[in-house]
Amino acid sequence: MGPTHEVTNQPGPPEDRDPWAADAALRQAAASAGADASALAAYGAALAAPEMRAAARAAERHPPLLHRFDRAGHRIDQVEFHPGYHALLGLGLGLSYAAGPWTGGRHATHAAMVYLHSTLEPATSCPMTMAYAAVPALAADPGLESAWRPRLVSAAYDPSDMPSDAKRGATMGMAMTEKQGGSDLRQTATRAEPADGAWQLTGHKWFCSAPMSDAFLTLAQTAVGLTCFLVPRWRPDGRLNDIHLMRLKDKLGNRANASAEIEYHGALAWRLGEEGRGIATILDMVHHTRLDTAVAPAGIMRAALAEAWHWAAHRTAFQRRLVDQPLMARVLADLALDLEGAVALAFRVARAFDGADEADRAFARLGVALAKYLNNKLCPRVVAEAIEVLGGMGYVEDTPLPMLYREAPLNGIWEGSGNVICLDILRTLARVPLAGEVLRAELSAGLGISAPYDAALAAYQDRWRRLPDEAEARAFAEDTALLLAAAALARTTPPAVAAAFAATRLSPRRQTVGTVDLDPAPLLARLAPG
């Protein structure tokens, strides 16, 4: 007892919990998608280790530092990260977060690793996700692919700042966004000029995450048009490439990773793909990063709800545990239902990424946009409500909730904000007839789930007899994604969960959490660890 009071009724932090073993929804969804359970059990156990949790907290509390020059005045454009950052990348890359799908594993296993990693420290997912997604884009040039792919799919993480051919493993980032264009990549102003069998780039990039990557895929204008290039951090002759880090972004989200503004001052680059076909070339990378931006918000929601459940299960008010009080139970169950739908939808999409036929590829292209849209609209709301469960304690940095709240909007912006994604959904359905056929088959397969699902599908088919105009694109995306989530839940979760989702999400719902009529028990049982 202290000099003024005894500490009671103040739950400490949750014990180091295994995010795989504690998550029934994830295990069921991953199994339905064909993920490797043994690899995911190993990943979850590694993340649960006390030293990894300490590394995550340290990386968040000690942001990266930019060093533009050394003591003699030479440009080094180097970012210094906390050792905890490197420890987390070493763990993820060592357990095949980036390499798995390209070395005999499955995209569904990778997706579950994204989810698990996001429950602990989302910032370090960024460089690993970009390394994963760069691999298929390299197929546009066999020479560059043979030079870079072996290091990108290596299980070794090598944080040393040196030419990539001297390293055991490499990472590859992306730098596309410019001030004047944003998502409109055709406004790219960076220029590329031929130079001694390669190219030289001159221009500015407004966002470049993970600027210490060994190389970047980027876009620049040639005489023919917008073209994709690979820009190495180091030149083959051992000199640092002319990529100047102008500043690190003082951003809303995570603090462990660095996001930078960069300039190319005649930077050496190699063309990737056909000249004038830059957007088509880099879309392979964008397609795969979108999978991660659809999955990561579900992991963030899970992390927030785990904190909320722990608090409610160990805190009392008015002589009862919070979790036993009807209103709190309903709030937590309502939030858990959002999480259940997000997980089921994300892993249905991940299963399509592993498919071998045209129908799977068409569904993957459409489904990943739908999942990215819906899951990222849910994530900030779920995290905000989880903070409110803890009250003032959820608002301070002693818990991970402020970090999760800052991070919650990120994946809704990265690789296309909401409007861009909705327009892409319409574009896919207009240009890829098979995507519409697969969508109709997927929704029809859910008939018989429940009367609310059948009624909602009939109303959907009546309303959307044709593709909507642009102004209705968000309504169409939301309706479609919710129905897909309901159909996916029916295949992977207990009937009570799927029925509750269909009954409360497919008809006009109220605007605030905890206002729907549902039985909390089956949802809280799945939210509880163990």
| Domains of the chain, earliest start first | 24-276 (2.40.110.20), 280-527 (1.20.140.10)
Residue 297: which of 418, 383, 229 has the closest Cα?
Answer: 383
292 within 8 A of 159, measured Cβ to Cβ: no
| Both tokens assigned to 47 | 């993340």
SS3 398: coil
Q: Is the model more confident about 1 or about 189? A: 189
State the pairing for strand pair 243-248/259-271: antiparallel
pLDDT average, residue stretch 195-212: 95
> In whole angstroms, how large is the CA radius of gyration of the chain?
23
- Provide the 8-state DSSP code for 251: -
Q: What are the angstrom distances between the C-alpha of 466 and each of 436, 480, 487?
A: 11, 13, 22
Helix (H) / strand (E) containing 435: helix 433-444
The confidence score (pLDDT) of residue 183 equals 81
Per-residue pLDDT tens digits for 246-256: 999 999 988 99
- Residue 76 predicted with pLDDT over 90: yes
Helix (H) / strand (E) containing 58: helix 50-61
pLDDT average, residue stretch 352-361: 96
Does this model's pTM top 0.95? My answer is yes
- Residue 167 predicted with pLDDT over 90: yes
pLDDT average, residue stretch 420-426: 97
Query: Which residues on adjacent β-strands are paired with residue 89?
Result: none
Helix (H) / strand (E) containing 174: strand 172-175
Q: Say which amino acid occupies 326.
A: P
Per-residue pLDDT tens digits for 463-485: 999 999 999 999 999 999 999 99
Per-residue pLDDT tens digits for 428-466: 999 999 999 999 999 999 999 899 999 999 999 999 999
Average pLDDT for the chain: 95
